[in-house]
Amino acid sequence: MLIPSKVICALFGWIPIGGSYGFNRSRSPRTDGYQYISIKFFNQAFKASIMKKLSLLALSLFLVVGTMSAQNPHINKKDQAGVVADWSTEIVCFSGVVAGNGNASSVTAYLEVAVDAETLCYNPAGGAKDDVGVPGHQSFTVKGEAQTFDCKNGKANLQNVCAALNIEVSCPNWKWTGVVEDVHILSVSLIINGKTLDVTNFYH
């Protein structure tokens, strides 16, 4: 069985070279611009092309999987990690060892904290409401400053990665006095080299 060479060229992007690569010269020349190539050569070339593409695909998958496994940050020694809040300064901090940072020599990390605050607003004009204050409710998320830590063998010892809450009570009028009655931490996220780790469960 013989296949026109231009069909093969269309399939594989080859440039035909007259009379070479197994072209059948025993047949009478064609007048339509086509030449013939043997099916044996086609099978060999097809197999070679498929094997090359499969090899490239396997290499790509290997590199992707290797990169994913190398960059999978997680908390190491969970019993030694923790999130603490200092309500006198309204600062929340995380400390702990994060592993799975690949071959990085350093990591950049910061904290994001979502909180819910119960507030009271006092009207300076007085009246019945002045005795108990006007209750309020505020929810917001704060982001701490990014810090850089050394990393060795994929592990980074993060100490005091903090975020300041800086709670500002929103009252009906700027003349009113706002007071924070209670604060509930909804979630704490550690962002390390662009990866987000939920560390809410480490809050003490």
101 and 167 housed in the same domain: yes
Domain boundary among 54, 70, 86: 70
CA distance 52 to 172: 71
Domain boundary among 50, 70, 90: 70
CA distance 204 to 186: 13
pTM of the model: 0.62
80 and 64 housed in the same domain: no
State the amino acid at position 31 in one-letter form: T
pLDDT in tens, 60-117: 665 555 544 457 999 998 999 999 999 889 999 999 999 999 999 999 999 999 999 9
Q: What is the pLDDT of residue 51?
A: 74
CA distances to 36, 39, 40, 45, 200 from 21, in Å: 10, 12, 11, 10, 67
| Phi (first) and psi of residue 106, to 5 degrees | -155, 160
CA distances to 93, 101, 103, 143, 161 from 155, in Å: 19, 6, 9, 23, 16
Domain boundary among 34, 50, 70: 70
- The total domain count for the chain is 2
140 and 184 housed in the same domain: yes
168 and 79 housed in the same domain: yes
53 and 117 housed in the same domain: no
137 and 181 housed in the same domain: yes
104 and 159 housed in the same domain: yes
150 is in which domain, residue-wise? Answer: 74-202
pLDDT in tens, 127-165: 655 567 889 989 999 999 999 999 999 999 999 999 999
12 and 83 housed in the same domain: no
94 and 190 housed in the same domain: yes
147 and 105 housed in the same domain: yes
43 and 104 housed in the same domain: no
49 and 145 housed in the same domain: no
